[in-house]
């Protein structure tokens, strides 16, 4: 097994008296989809925010590409090559696809925006992901369907040669066929060598695309297992009770 | 009866949707046609010069306020600030100071108030409407503190050159307004800053998560609004030939009407400088035309109020059309998704979108 691109060791995080994350471990491998599952309040969001630099863990090791690093803010995480695609905050409706993909990182020619260069790069990225559903990359995001919006949000994350892409419930608001589309895209993302973290409540999705499943239970890692080694009902057990017969509590992966 | 009017409005909105500028130009054209037919003095070179000259301050300030409103902000302080900056310049100049130095002082005071608005909104998180309502009163008070009545005496002889002179028949104020409008148009349409202004208006949280420094952008917007007001104050007081603390009452209203008539969305995220210029001309020609046909000045307030409300209602209707369209589109594209790999279906969805947009 290759070396993990991102590895968290014994991460703890409290908000006042509430101990949200307890000694959480997580390994994310390049070229794989690591699904992060858990019930509401299990600590998924907090863990993601620790990775993205929005929260700083109270203790624990953050190992990126074999080196221990400290991440003090979203900019640090972005600099490492970690990108988060937030569930509903990913895009500005009034801007077109190109503008959205480059928001915050616009290409300039002198003092002005280099529209043509951005358009070429956006087109190339969408083609690279085999996205053929959008009519024009100059249409506003408001005119896109849910699946297309999610596609643009993911393409935005790919544009910058990121090493880790975190997807926060990318299929939550989508219909059946659009979900399928987005899951294909998630797979292609991983196949291109990116380490993908997929947060999802939907075990069907998880079993369809994930290589690796990490289940959180009340702020602790119940287990991180290979998909091939578990069944859906075992994962449900992990989510609801924190343990399952035949799965050793933590580090089943090692 | 009312429902017929609504349907008419909505079909009109559908025609004009996607091209707010054409809609505003259409209104301007109808207005000018009406006054040309009702007054022989309307469509004359002198009157055109006169109206564009007096509209220039609305264009100067409106250009900056357009950006503020696209970013979902508001600046109500511009009218009072116009008076405060104007009387400051006049007061300094009447004491024998260099004319340009007094102009510079007026612009500096504008910038100072802009920075104050920006600090209140960004630093203290006061909502823009309240922050600038506060500074509106502060600026008006300061104007009266500088001078309780208009300064007429002691102004240098060249005081009015800037406001009343022209270059090849084009009044200086118009040239200044065009230059400033071009600058803001460039800033909004061509630069990273402008793109961030639209992004903030579209979704502030998304912009923040994308790494846009929204605090800096919003602060700069209010600063520029104040600066533009300072420049407009210089142009206006020079044209009027006095420093009067009573000027600019209702000016903020004219600016906001111009910006909204120009197609800037009240919900933010949409708008163009060209639209604001047309909006300002509508406001200017409306007032001028009503004057010429002998309507009492008080009715102009009524007309402006009606214009504002009508513009907002039209904005609401076109917006509703748009959101209905996007729902329909969603349904369409869902149907099409199963066959997305088939290039024909892409053409199909394109034709749906063409039909709607």
CB–CB contacts below 8 A, A to B:
96
CA distance B229 to chain A (A): 25
The span from the CA of A166 to the CA of A214, in Å, is 14
What is residue B352's predicted lDDT score, i.e. its pLDDT? 36
Which helix H or strand E contains B162, and what residues bound it? helix B161-164
How would residue B174 be classed by pLDDT, with cut points 50, 70 and 90?
A: very high
What is residue B94's predicted lDDT score, i.e. its pLDDT? 87
B206 → closest Cβ in A74, A90, A106? A90
User: Rounded mean pLDDT of A163-167?
Assistant: 92
Give DSSP secondary structure letters for chain A: -PPPSEEEEEEEEEETTEEEEEEEEEEE-TT-EEEEEE-TTSSHHHHHHHHHTSS--SEEEEEETTEE----SHHHHHHHTEEEE-SS-S--TTSBHHHHHHTTS--EETTEE-HHHHHHHHHHHHHHTT----S-TTSBGGGS-HHHHHHHHHHHHHTTT-SEEEEESTTTT--HHHHHHHHHHHHHHHHTT-EEEEE-S-HHHHHHH-SEEEEEETTEEEEEEEGGG--HHHHHHHHHHS--TT--SS-TT-
A113 → closest Cβ in B190, B202, B333? B190
Query: From the candidates A101, A104, A160, which should be mutated to test the interface with B, based on the most B CB atoms within 10 A?
Result: A104
How would residue B229 be classed by pLDDT, with cut points 50, 70 and 90?
A: very high
Question: Any CB–CB contact under 8 A between B344 and chain A?
Answer: no
Question: Any CB–CB contact under 8 A between B353 and chain A?
Answer: yes
A94 → closest Cβ in B202, B340, B349? B202
Question: Any CB–CB contact under 8 A between A86 and chain B?
Answer: yes
B206 → closest Cβ in A91, A108, A111? A91
In terms of pLDDT, which residue wins out, B292 or A253?
A: B292
- Top mean pLDDT of A53-62, A214-223, B136-145 is at B136-145
What is residue B329's predicted lDDT score, i.e. its pLDDT? 47
In terms of pLDDT, which residue wins out, B200 or A43?
A: B200
Cα atoms in the Cβ-side hemisphere of radius 13 Å centred on A32: 22
**Model confidence over A187-203: pLDDT tens digits?**
988 988 899 999 988 88
A143 → closest Cβ in B191, B206, B326? B326
B333 → closest Cβ in A94, A95, A145? A145
Nearest to B247 by CA among B256, B238, B257: B238
Q: Which residues from A are below 8 Å from B206, CB to CB?
A: 89-92, 103
Question: Any CB–CB contact under 8 A between B207 and chain A?
Answer: yes
- Top mean pLDDT of A23-37, A66-80, B343-357 is at A23-37
Look at A132-136, B37-41, B209-213, B280-284 and tell me which has the smallest mean pLDDT: A132-136
pLDDT surpassing 50 at residue B348: no
Question: Any CB–CB contact under 8 A between A125 and chain B?
Answer: no
pLDDT surpassing 50 at residue B356: no
Q: What is the pTM of this model?
A: 0.83
Query: From the candidates B340, B342, B356, which should be mutated to test the interface with A, based on the most A CB atoms within 10 A?
Result: B340
CA distance A84 to chain B (A): 9
What is residue B206's predicted lDDT score, i.e. its pLDDT? 87
Question: Any CB–CB contact under 8 A between B192 and chain A?
Answer: yes
**Model confidence over A203-225: pLDDT tens digits?**
889 999 999 999 999 888 888 88
Q: Which residues from A are below 8 Å from B348, CB to CB?
A: none
Nearest to B282 by CA among B307, B314, B252, B310: B307
Round the average pLDDT of chain A to a whole number and report it.
86
Query: From the candidates B330, B339, B351, B355, which should be mutated to test the interface with A, based on the most A CB atoms within 10 A?
Result: B330
Q: Does domain B56-246 correspond to CATH entry 1.10.3470.10?
A: yes
B202 → closest Cβ in A92, A113, A132? A92
Q: Which residues from B are below 8 Å from A78, CB to CB?
A: 211
Q: Which residues contact B259 (CB under 8 A, 6 or more apart)?
A: B62, B65, B66, B69, B271, B276, B279
Question: Any CB–CB contact under 8 A between B269 and chain A?
Answer: yes
**Contact between B192 and A113 using a beta-carbon 8 Å cutoff:** yes
What is residue B342's predicted lDDT score, i.e. its pLDDT? 36
What is residue B152's predicted lDDT score, i.e. its pLDDT? 75
User: Rounded mean pLDDT of A120-132?
Assistant: 83
Nearest Cα residue in chain B from A94: B202
**Model confidence over B309-331: pLDDT tens digits?**
888 887 777 665 555 555 444 44
**Contact between A92 and B353 using a beta-carbon 8 Å cutoff:** no
User: Rounded mean pLDDT of B336-348?
Assistant: 36
pLDDT surpassing 70 at residue A184: yes
CA-to-CA dists, residue A65 to A30, A178, B218, angstroms: 10, 33, 38
**Contact between A105 and B198 using a beta-carbon 8 Å cutoff:** no
Domain ranges of chain B: 56-246
How would residue B333 be classed by pLDDT, with cut points 50, 70 and 90?
A: very low
Calculate ∠ Cα A131-A132-A136, nearest 5°: 105
Q: Which tokens sit at B92? A: 């300094």
What is residue B347's predicted lDDT score, i.e. its pLDDT? 36
Dihedral (C-alpha) B90, B96, B100, B105: value to the nearest 10 degrees?
Answer: -50
Round the average pLDDT of chain B to a whole number and report it.
84
DSSP at B341: T
A104 → closest Cβ in B186, B210, B350? B210
Give percent above pLDDT 90 in chain A: 27
CA-to-CA dists, residue B180 to A186, B60, B70, angstroms: 48, 6, 18
What is residue B9's predicted lDDT score, i.e. its pLDDT? 63
**Contact between A145 and B329 using a beta-carbon 8 Å cutoff:** yes
The span from the CA of B101 to the CA of B97, in Å, is 7
Nearest Cα residue in chain B from A54: B209
What is residue A130's predicted lDDT score, i.e. its pLDDT? 72
**Contact between A103 and B199 using a beta-carbon 8 Å cutoff:** yes
CATH topology (fold) of A6-91+163-241: Rossmann fold (3.40.50)
pLDDT surpassing 50 at residue A106: yes
How would residue A235 be classed by pLDDT, with cut points 50, 70 and 90?
A: confident
Look at A57-61, B139-143, B220-224 and tell me which has the smallest mean pLDDT: A57-61
**Contact between A89 and B329 using a beta-carbon 8 Å cutoff:** no
pLDDT surpassing 90 at residue B277: yes
Give percent above pLDDT 70 in chain B: 84
First to last CA, chain B: 28
| 170-199 in chain A: CB under 8 A from chain B | 175, 177-178, 181
How would residue B118 be classed by pLDDT, with cut points 50, 70 and 90?
A: very high
pLDDT surpassing 70 at residue A29: yes
């Amino acid at each position: 097994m290759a070396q993990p691109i991102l590895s968290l060791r014994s991460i703890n995080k409290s908000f006042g008296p509430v101990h949200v994350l307890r000694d959480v471990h997580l390994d994310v491998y390049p070229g794989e989809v690591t699904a992060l599952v858990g019930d509401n309040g299990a600590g998924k969001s907090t863990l993601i925010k620790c990775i993205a630099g929005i929260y700083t863990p109270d203790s624990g090791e953050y190992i990126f590409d074999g080196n221990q690093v400290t991440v003090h803010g979203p900019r640090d995480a972005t600099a490492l090559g970690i990108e988060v695609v937030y569930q509903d905050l990913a895009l500005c409706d009034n801007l077109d696809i190109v503008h959205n993909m480059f928001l915050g990182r616009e290409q300039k020619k002198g003092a002005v925006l280099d529209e043509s260069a951005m358009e070429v790069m956006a087109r190339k990225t969408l083609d690279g992901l085999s996205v053929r559903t959008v009519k024009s990359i100059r249409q506003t995001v408001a005119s896109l369907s849910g699946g297309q919006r999610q596609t643009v949000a993911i393409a935005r994350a790919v544009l910058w040669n990121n090493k880790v892409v975190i997807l926060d419930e990318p299929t939550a608001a989508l219909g059946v066929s659009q979900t399928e589309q987005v899951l294909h895209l998630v797979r292609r993302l991983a196949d291109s060598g990116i380490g993908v973290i997929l947060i999802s409540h939907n075990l069907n999705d998880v079993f369809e695309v994930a290589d690796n499943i990490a289940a959180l239970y009340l702020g602790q890692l119940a287990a991180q297992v290979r998909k091939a080694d578990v069944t859906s009902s075992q994962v449900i057990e992990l989510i609801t009770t924190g343990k399952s017969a035949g799965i050793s509590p933590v580090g089943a992966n090692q | 009866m009312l429902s017929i009017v609504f349907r008419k409005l909505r079909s009109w909105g559908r025609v004009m949707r996607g091209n707010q500028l054409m809609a505003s130009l259409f209104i301007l054209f109808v207005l000018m046609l009406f006054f040309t037919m009702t007054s022989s003095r309307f469509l004359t070179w002198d009157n055109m010069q006169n109206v564009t000259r007096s509209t220039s301050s609305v264009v100067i300030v409106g250009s900056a306020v357009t950006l503020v409103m696209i970013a979902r902000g508001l600046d109500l302080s511009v009218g009072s600030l116009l008076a405060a900056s104007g009387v400051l310049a006049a007061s300094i100049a009447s004491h024998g100071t260099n004319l340009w130095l007094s102009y510079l002082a007026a612009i500096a005071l504008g910038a100072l108030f802009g920075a104050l608005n920006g600090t209140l909104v960004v630093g203290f998180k006061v909502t823009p409407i309240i922050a600038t309502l506060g500074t509106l009163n502060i600026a008006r008070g300061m104007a009266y503190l500088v001078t309780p009545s208009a300064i007429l005496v002691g102004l240098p002889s060249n005081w009015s050159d800037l406001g009343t002179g022209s270059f090849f028949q084009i009044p200086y104020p118009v040239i200044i307004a065009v230059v400033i409008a071009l600058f803001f148009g460039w800033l909004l349409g061509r630069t990273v800053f402008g793109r961030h202004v639209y992004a903030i208006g579209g979704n502030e949280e998304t912009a923040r998560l994308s790494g846009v420094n929204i605090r800096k952008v919003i602060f700069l917007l209010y600063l520029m609004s104040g600066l533009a007001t300072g420049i407009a104050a210089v142009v206006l007081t020079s044209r009027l030939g006095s420093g009067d603390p009573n000027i600019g009452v209702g000016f903020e209203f004219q600016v906001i009407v111009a910006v909204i008539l120009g197609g800037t969305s009240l919900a933010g995220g949409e708008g163009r400088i060209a639209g604001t210029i047309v909006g300002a001309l509508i406001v200017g020609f409306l007032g001028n035309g009503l004057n010429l046909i002998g309507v009492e000045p008080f009715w102009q307030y009524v007309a402006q109020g009606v214009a504002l409300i009508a513009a907002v209602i039209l904005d609401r209707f076109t917006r509703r059309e748009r959101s209905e369209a996007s729902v329909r589109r969603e349904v369409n594209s869902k149907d099409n998704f199963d066959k997305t790999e088939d290039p024909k279906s892409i053409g199909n969805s394109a034709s749906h979108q063409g039909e709607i947009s």
